[in-house]
């Protein structure tokens, strides 16, 4: 397997959104957080993300052979056994790292791995797959906050908003293989992170600017999804994925950390840039 294939399997372009999740969860905990804790949390979450993406391809190998023959396993660029073992090893590595974050954070990490496995196993078989995917990001916030020392109300509320964003995003992504969108009413959940973000942003200029960016991303994505021209669904999906970092930036800046909010907002541009190197879906 070549390095480029490994990067494609892991959808590595989306990793900045995982890092900003780690930062947001830590800031929203309200506790004094050391940089080392945030780094370890980010590394563990990165391994969970990459391992989950690899296993996603392993679980979907048969379906991809029919619907997405350009994926590495159907193309013969990577063996099913290698991808499955590699994905499992990354999840295990993330759990080992999580041990250094304390018992509560480790428990959240275990739940996160279970949610990742459940999604990979069932996402083609149940309409509830967006909810399961949303749960993985909710638990990412929870793990980061617990690693910092406290699962505060702000962290839980922020995690709920992120959950809603991911549910809407994943609903759209499920249609990507067909380059179309069916019912549009589930996209209404996107109003939740926008409203939560606006309420958080009112006391901070940086947070408000990040919220304007998030609102623009939402408008762009909805326009593409409703228009439904060829290529619109995947373009909307990758933009919404990058928008996760803007959501994080709103909450971080709104919690009184504007400099870190700017850092998180940079994750939006970095994700879009990396998507030109490795597809985010």
Tens-place pLDDT, residues 115-164 = 999 999 887 777 788 899 999 999 999 999 999 988 999 999 999 999 99
Out of 31-35, 37-41, 117-121, 237-241, least confident range: 31-35
**Residue 58: pLDDT over 90:** no
Q: Is the pLDDT of residue 177 over 60?
A: no
Residue 280: is its pLDDT beyond 70?
no
> Higher confidence at residue 143 or residue 64?
143
At 183, the pLDDT band (50, 70, 90 cuts) reads low
Percent of the chain at pLDDT > 70 equals 94
Q: What share of the chain is helix, strand, coil (3-state, %, to 5)?
A: 80, 0, 20
Following DSSP, what letter does each residue of 57-113 receive, concatenated? HHHTHHHHHHH-TTSHHHHTSS-HHHHHHHHHHHHHHHHHHHGGG-HHHHHHHHHHH
What's the Cα-to-Cα distance from 144 to each of 25, 57, 102, 176, rounded to whole Å? Answer: 5, 27, 11, 30
**Residue 187: band (very low, low, confident or very high) from pLDDT cuts 50, 70, 90:** confident
pLDDT at 36 over 80: yes
Summarised one tens digit per residue, pLDDT across range 267-276 is 999 999 988 8
pLDDT-derived band at 185, boundaries 50, 70, 90: low
**Residue extents of the structural domains in the chain:** 3-274
Task: Check residue 54 and give its pLDDT.
Answer: 92
Please indicate whether residue 281 or residue 121 has the higher confidence score (pLDDT): 121
Q: How confident is the model at residue 114 (pLDDT cuts 50, 70, 90)?
A: very high
Residues 144-162 as b or e (16 or more Cβ within 10 Å = b):
bbbbbbebbebbebbbbbb
The reported pLDDT for the residue numbered 2 is 82
Give the mean pLDDT of the chain.
89
Distance, in Å, from the CA atom of 281 to the CA atom of 236, rounded to the nearest integer, reads 11
**Lowest-confidence segment of 10-24, 88-102, 142-156, 185-199 by average pLDDT:** 185-199
What average pLDDT does range 164-174 have in this prediction?
Answer: 85
Whether the pLDDT of residue 250 is over 80: the answer is: yes
Q: What is the pLDDT of residue 204?
A: 93
Instruction: Give SS3 for 165.
Output: helix
Confidence of residue 224 (pLDDT cuts 50, 70, 90): confident
**In the predicted structure, residue 215 carries a pLDDT above the cut 80:** yes
73 pLDDT tier (thresholds 50, 70, 90): confident
Identify the band that residue 30 occupies on the pLDDT scale cut at 50, 70 and 90: confident
**For residues 232-244, average pLDDT:** 89
Residue ranges of E strands in 155-255: none
Mean pLDDT of 35-59: 94
> Which among 173, 157, 188, 156 has a CA at the least distance from the CA of 240?
173
- CATH entry 1.10.357.140 includes domain 3-274: yes
The arithmetic mean of pLDDT across residues 214-235, rounded, is 85
């Amino acid at each position: 397997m070549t390095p480029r294939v490994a990067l494609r399997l892991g959808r590595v372009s989306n990793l900045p959104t995982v890092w900003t999740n780690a930062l947001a969860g830590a800031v929203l905990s309200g506790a004094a957080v050391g940089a080392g804790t945030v780094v370890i949390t980010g590394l563990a979450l990165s391994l969970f993300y990459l391992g989950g993406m690899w296993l996603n391809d392993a679980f979907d190998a048969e379906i991809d052979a029919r619907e997405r023959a350009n994926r590495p396993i159907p193309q013969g660029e990577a063996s099913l056994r290698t991808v499955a073992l590699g994905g499992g090893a990354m999840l295990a590595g993330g759990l080992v790292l999580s041990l250094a974050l304390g018992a509560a954070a480790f428990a959240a990490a275990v739940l996160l791995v279970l949610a990742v496995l459940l999604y990979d196993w069932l996402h083609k078989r149940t309409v509830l797959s967006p909810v399961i995917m949303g749960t993985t990001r909710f638990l990412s916030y929870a793990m980061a906050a617990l690693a910092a020392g406290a699962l505060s109300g702000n962290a839980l509320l922020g995690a709920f908003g992120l959950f809603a964003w991911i549910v809407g995003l994943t609903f759209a992504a499920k249609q990507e293989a067909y380059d179309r969108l069916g019912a549009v009413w589930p996209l209404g959940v996107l109003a939740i992170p926008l409203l939560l973000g606006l309420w958080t942003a009112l006391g901070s200029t940086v947070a408000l600017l990040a919220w304007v960016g998030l609102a623009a991303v939402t408008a762009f994505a909805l326009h593409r999804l409703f228009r439904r021209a060829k290529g619109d669904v995947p373009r909307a999906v990758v933009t919404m994925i990058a928008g996760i970092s803007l959501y994080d930036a709103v909450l971080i800046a709104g919690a009184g950390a504007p400099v870190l909010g700017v850092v998180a907002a940079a994750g939006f541009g970095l994700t879009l840039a990396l998507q030109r190197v490795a597809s985010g879906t």
